[in-house]
Amino acid sequence: MPSPATRSPPMTPDDKKLVEIVKQANPRLSESIDDLPDEKKAEIIRAVASVQATQQGRMVAASASLSISPVPHPEFLVGYNQAIPDGASRLFTLIEEQSHHRIDIEKAVLFTQNKATLRGQIFAFILTAILVVVATWFAISGDTITAGIIFGTTILGVSSNFIFGKNWQARNLSRKDPRN
CA distances from 68 to 52, 64, 71, 75, 79 (A): 26, 14, 8, 15, 19
Whole-model pTM: value is: 0.46
Q: Which residues contact 169 (CB under 8 A, 6 or more apart)?
A: none
Task: Give the pLDDT confidence score for residue 81 in this predicted structure.
Answer: 85
Task: Give the span between the Cα atoms of 49 and 42, in whole angstroms.
Answer: 10
**pLDDT of 29 over the 60 cut:** yes
pLDDT band at residue 159, thresholds of 50, 70 and 90? confident
Three-state SS string over the chain comes to CCCCCCCCCCCCHHHHHHHHHHHHHCHHHHHHHCCCCHHHHHHHHHHHHHHCCEECCEECCCCCCCCCCCCCCHHHHHHHHHHCCCHHHHHHHHHHHHHHHHHHHHHHHHHHHHHHHHHHHHHHHHHHHHHHHHHHHHHHCCCHHHHHHHHHHHHHHHHHHHHHHHHHHHHHHHHHCCCC
As a whole number, mean pLDDT of residues 136-157 equals 90
Which of 1-10, 107-116, 140-149 has the weakest average pLDDT?
A: 1-10
pLDDT digits (tens, 9 = 90+) for 74-94: 878 888 888 888 888 888 898
Q: 48 or 115: whose pLDDT is higher?
A: 115
pLDDT digits (tens, 9 = 90+) for 63-72: 666 667 777 7
The answer to whether 138 and 150 are in contact (CB under 8 A) is yes
Average pLDDT score, the chain:
77
Task: Give the span between the Cα atoms of 108 and 100, in whole angstroms.
Answer: 12
